[in-house]
Amino acid sequence: MLVAEHLTKFYPNIKALDDLSLEVSDGAIFGFLGHNGAGKTTALSIFTTLMLPSSGSVMIQDMDVVKDNLKVRGILGYLPENVSLYGELTVRENLRFLGRLSEVRKVDQAIDATLEMLGFSQWSDSKVKTLSKGMRQRVGIAQSILHKPKILFLDEPTSGLDPEGTADIRDILLRINAELGTTIFMNTHMLSEVTKICTDIGIISHGRLLLADTLKNVETQYKDCKSLEEIYFRIGNGVAQ
């Protein structure tokens, strides 16, 4: 479980996160929605130990992301937006390197199993620089689940992908959640994706969390809205007013 309490982050001249409190339960697929510059990546950076909060706390599986950062890193998987990996190395070499950094034992067996699960075994000896963006994204996901993390953080995982690539990634994430029981936390601004795979959503605007609930509850609460897009704009406009 991820629990963030009163999280605030200041950059010079800007408050990127403003008293954000949030809970993500085990096994959920949480879609974190917000416009560009809303604070999604800042929150994700704090959750993944890349950045320190100015105040507040974040606990993942009862471990503090600041005090127990090395332990937290051992149980999280992460896929940044537009990661290019090491182009000169093959898929297997990339995964072997990153898997070893994640302290994966029997790394080659883990690579085989992960690539098999992602339907990507035939590309294991291809250099990453020869792969399409969608294929590279699969390798990125493979490295993020190689050590079977408890929670997987994804930053705009379908950004820049064509519809087919987007559908592929969506299926892969659903499989990871179902087969490995991994909690998934993803930053996105693609509302259509959220409705297709997320169990829970959070909406953030200008650093403030406007809503966090199960998708079902949100749809019930705003049953007069025809789509998530309409809900999103209504909540956003409500705050703006």
Least spacing, CB of residue 24 vs another protein, in Å: 17
Residue 42 touching another protein (CB under 8 A): no
Q: Which stretch binds another protein (CB under 8 A): 45-53, 187-195, 201-209, 223-231?
A: 45-53
Residue 82 touching another protein (CB under 8 A): yes
**Residue 184 or residue 194: which is nearer to another protein going by CB?**
184
What is the Cα–Cα distance from 77 to 151, expressed in whole angstroms? 6
Residue 68 touching another protein (CB under 8 A): no
Neighbour-count burial of 78, counting CB atoms closer than 10 A to its CB (0-12 exposed, 13-18 middle, 19+ buried): buried
Alpha helices in the chain (DSSP H): 40-47, 69-75, 91-101, 107-117, 133-145, 163-180, 191-197, 215-221, 228-240
Residue 45 touching another protein (CB under 8 A): yes
Residue 221, amino acid: Q
**Residue 83 or residue 113: which is nearer to another protein going by CB?**
83
**Residue 84 or residue 217: which is nearer to another protein going by CB?**
84
What is the Cα–Cα distance from 222 to 237, expressed in whole angstroms? 14
Contact 137, 157 (CB under 8 A): yes
The Cα-based distances of 52 to 2, 37, 38, 47, 76 in angstroms read: 16, 18, 18, 9, 17
Tell me the per-residue interface mask from 84 to 103 with another protein, x by CB under 8 A, - otherwise: xxx-xx---x---xx-xxxx
**Candidate residues 7, 33, 43, 49; the one interacting with another protein per rule CB under 8 A:** 49
**Candidate residues 1, 50, 63, 174; the one interacting with another protein per rule CB under 8 A:** 50
**Residue 97 or residue 233: which is nearer to another protein going by CB?**
97
Q: Which stretch binds another protein (CB under 8 A): 31-39, 76-84, 109-117, 233-241?
A: 76-84
Residue 198 touching another protein (CB under 8 A): no
63 has which bridge partners? 60
* 215: helix, strand or coil: helix
Tell me which residues touch another protein (CB under 8 A): 45, 48-52, 70-71, 73-74, 76, 78, 80-86, 88-89, 93, 97-98, 100-103, 143
